[in-house]
Structure formats: C-alpha cells, structure tokens
C-alpha cells in the first residue's frame, strides 16, 4: 500500500506540552497517514467484548471517553490511553479493545471533546481542524480531563484501583507531563513522546518507561533520550527507555496496519516489517509492565532486547538507565 504524504496539519504542526515541543514533518515510509484505515473500525465492530462511549463530567465540562471491558472474573488493572495528534481515531478504539482482550479495563478520552460543531470531538472535525484545535487545548484543561478519567475508571466496580497511563506521539508527551501532575498512576508509558521540563520531573511518583524509534531523529533521537535519562537521574526518578531498531515514528500504529501491497517499494516493505516487529516487541514489554503493576512488583525488569538493560531499582530506590538500549 503506497502511503500518501500527511496533510498540511502534519507538515508543520508544532505541538507544545509545557516547554516540550514536537515538530511534525511530512510522512516517511512506515509513518501512519492521517486518514485511519478502515480495517481498525471493522476489527472493533467484530469484537466480542463490551465497548462503549461514556460521558465524564468535571468542573462543568463534559468529556466523551471510549471504554473497553475485559471478560475476566477478577478485578482488573486499568489503562488510560492518550491519543495521538490525529485525535480519537479508529486505531485508538482498536487499541482499547486490544487492552480489554488482554484482560484490562481501558479508557481513551477524546481530549478534543467540546470543540466539534455539535459539541463533540474528533469525529466532528476535519484533519486540519484537529491539528489547529489540539494545539490550542489549555494545559490545565488537559490535566483536569485526564485526572477525571483516572478518577472515573479506577472507581468502577470491576477495577482493582490501579492505573497505568500510555500515550502516543502527542499523547506520549502528554503522558510524561501528566506523570508530573498526578500521584495516582502506577506507571507511565511514553511512546515516542517529548519530555517535560527538567524542573517538573521532581514531582513524578511513578516509574516512566520510554518506547522510542531508531528512525525518529527529526523528533526524538538518541541524544535527546540520553539527556532525558540524565535529567531523570538527577531528579532521582526511574526512567527506562528502549530504542526499537529500524522502527519509525508512530510504530505502534504503523506496525498494526495492514501490510503493504505487492507493488510497494522495498523501502516501504522494509519499514513496515521493522514497525511490525517494534510493535510486537513494544506490546510484549507493555504487557510485562501491566503484569508487574497488577502484582505490585514495580519497577519490573522488562526487556525485549538480548542486550543487557540497566537493572531497575527496587520501588523505594530510584534509578535510571545510563544509555539508551536498543531493542532488536
């Protein structure tokens, strides 16, 4: 499948989370297009699990959120999913279902809620409007929306009260930022997202796990990740980054897409294969973290690499990786 270039939204979208800024340029092979693939919607439609939209209310504001429920007998750990720059897409819904299939209650709020023509969110906006409005979201509103989501999902009767936050691209930056503002979360999973100001890291109370792409130098490169490692170490916080070999920005989505057509270029096929492997390895690592959270064994020793990773500290002893290990 030949991938089109991203729209003007992604060509020059500058996203800010505190002092952290991401610059999005034209798509490279393996980077997801702004238009969601129909197969994700079809996957969700065929799911045997209970999936629904709920309306959260806080401070006079309403926020729509998509929830997936696992088919399990015991109380489950919960996951807050923070969407990408593309807003609340069909891929996000499919990811919520994937998490429910794995045994967890997952919730993904549409942080663009209230900006649509009818008071809704992403589904009422064009791709250009999504880019404009997502950059204009007030920081306090985003934090309050996420806090309300945590409060809602952890108090469900089927929840064990434990919450993990995972965000992607723009949502990855928001995840890292939210970890500086909320003490309820048990772990923060930052998928190729920018870093909050070093001064804010002192407020982090949960281990932070980074999932980064080797071929993402224009956004987040090994040098930048090493800087974050040193900043987290100086703050006395646990930070475990992994660099996924050959992967491009957005590999959790790109690696979950349909494979390229036979007419695709070798570069496109190679990029897809690398993103698919990174997605599989990243998912395994994510599930290892979820199991550790459920069992109250954080920070866990998790690695998808045959290279040794720095040994995580015990819960009361902060630690940080001295370098960025590569996942192969």
pTM of the model: 0.82
CA geometry: angle 215, 220, 224, nearest 5 deg = 125
pLDDT of residue 25: 27
Give the per-residue pLDDT at 38. Answer: 87
Choose the weakest-confidence range: 94-98, 176-180, 307-311, 323-327: 307-311
In a domain, 26, yes or no: yes
pLDDT attached to residue 72: 97
Q: Bin 36: left if φ > 0, else alpha if -120 < ψ < 50, else beta.
A: beta
- Which pLDDT value is given to residue 46? 97
Q: What pLDDT shows up at residue 37?
A: 67
3-state SS, residue 76 = strand
Answer yes or no: is 1 within a domain: no
Does residue 22 carry a pLDDT above 60? Answer: no
Whole-number pLDDT of residue 217:
80
The pLDDT tens digits for 222-240 are: 778 999 999 999 999 999 9
Tell me the pLDDT tens digit for each residue of 181-223: 999 999 999 999 999 999 999 999 999 999 999 999 866 777 7
Q: Note the pLDDT tens digit of each residue in 71-127.
A: 999 999 999 999 999 999 999 999 999 999 999 999 999 999 999 999 999 999 999
Percent of the chain with pLDDT over 90: 77
CATH code for the domain of 166: 3.40.50.1820
Measured between its terminal Cα atoms, the distance across the chain in Å is 25
- Strand bridging mode 159-168 / 187-191: parallel
Q: What is the mean pLDDT of the chain?
A: 84
Residue among 153, 161, 149 nearest 75 (CA): 161
- Which pLDDT band, with edges at 50, 70 and 90, does 326 fall under? low
Structural domain contains residue 323: yes
Interior angle at CA 35, CA 7 and CA 88, nearest 5: 105
- Inside any domain, residue 272: yes
Query: Quick check: is 307 in a domain?
Result: yes
Assess if residue 219 is contained within a domain.
Answer: yes
Least confident of 41-45, 108-112, 157-161, 298-302: 298-302
Cα separation, 119 vs 134, whole angstroms: 15
Query: Domain containing 210: what range?
Result: 8-327
Task: Establish how many alpha carbons lie within 13 A of residue 263's alpha carbon, considering only the half-sphere containing its beta carbon.
Answer: 3
The confidence score (pLDDT) of residue 113 equals 98
Instruction: Please tell me the predicted confidence (pLDDT) of residue 222.
Output: 76
Q: Which residues are CB-neighbours of 171 under 8 A, at least 6 positions away?
A: 81, 82, 83, 84, 191, 193
Residue 321 falls inside a structural domain: yes
Task: Measure the CA–CA gap between 165 and 107, rounded to whole angstroms.
Answer: 10
Residue 325 confidence class, pLDDT cut points 50, 70, 90: low
What's the average model confidence in pLDDT over 229-253?
95
Domain count, the chain: 1
In a domain, 2, yes or no: no
d(CA 164, CA 150): 9
pLDDT tens for each residue of 40-83: 999 999 999 999 999 999 999 999 999 999 999 999 999 999 99
At 39 the three-state DSSP class reads: helix
The pLDDT of residue 244 is above 70: yes
- Beta-bridge partners for 159: 76
Least Cα distance to 44 among 6, 100, 82 occurs for: 100
């Amino acid at each position: 499948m030949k991938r089109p270039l991203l729209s003007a939204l992604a060509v020059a979208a500058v996203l800010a989370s505190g002092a952290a800024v991401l610059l999005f340029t034209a798509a490279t092979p393996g980077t997801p297009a702004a238009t969601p693939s129909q197969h994700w919607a079809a996957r969700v439609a065929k799911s045997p699990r209970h999936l629904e939209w709920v309306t959260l209310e806080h401070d006079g504001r309403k926020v729509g959120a998509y929830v997936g429920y696992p088919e399990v007998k015991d109380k489950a750990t919960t996951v807050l999913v923070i969407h990408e720059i593309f807003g609340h897409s069909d891929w996000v819904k499919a990811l919520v279902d994937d998490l429910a299939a794995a045994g967890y209650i997952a919730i993904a709020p549409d942080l663009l809620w209230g900006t649509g023509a009818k008071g809704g969110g992403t589904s009422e906006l064009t791709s250009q409007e999504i880019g404009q409005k997502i950059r204009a979201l007030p920081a306090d509103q985003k934090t309050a929306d996420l806090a309300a989501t945590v409060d809602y999902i952890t108090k469900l009767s089927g929840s064990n009260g434990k919450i993990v936050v995972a965000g992607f691209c723009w949502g990855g930056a928001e995840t890292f930022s939210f970890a500086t503002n909320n003490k309820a979360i048990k772990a923060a999973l930052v998928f190729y997202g920018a870093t909050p100001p070093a001064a804010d890291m002192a407020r982090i109370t949960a281990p932070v796990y980074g999932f980064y792409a080797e071929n993402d130098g224009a956004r987040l490169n090994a040098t930048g990740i090493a800087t974050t490692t040193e900043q987290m170490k100086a703050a006395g916080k646990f930070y475990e980054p992994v660099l996924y070999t050959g992967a491009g920005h957005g590999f959790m989505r790109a690696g979950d897409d349909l494979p390229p057509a036979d007419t695709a270029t070798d570069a496109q096929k190679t990029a897809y294969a690398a993103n698919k492997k990174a997605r599989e390895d990243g998912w395994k690592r994510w599930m290892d973290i979820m199991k550790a959270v459920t069992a109250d064994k954080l920070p866990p020793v998790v690695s998808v690499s045959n290279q040794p990773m720095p040994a995580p500290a015990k819960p009361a002893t902060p630690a940080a990786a001295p370098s960025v290990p590569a996942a192969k």
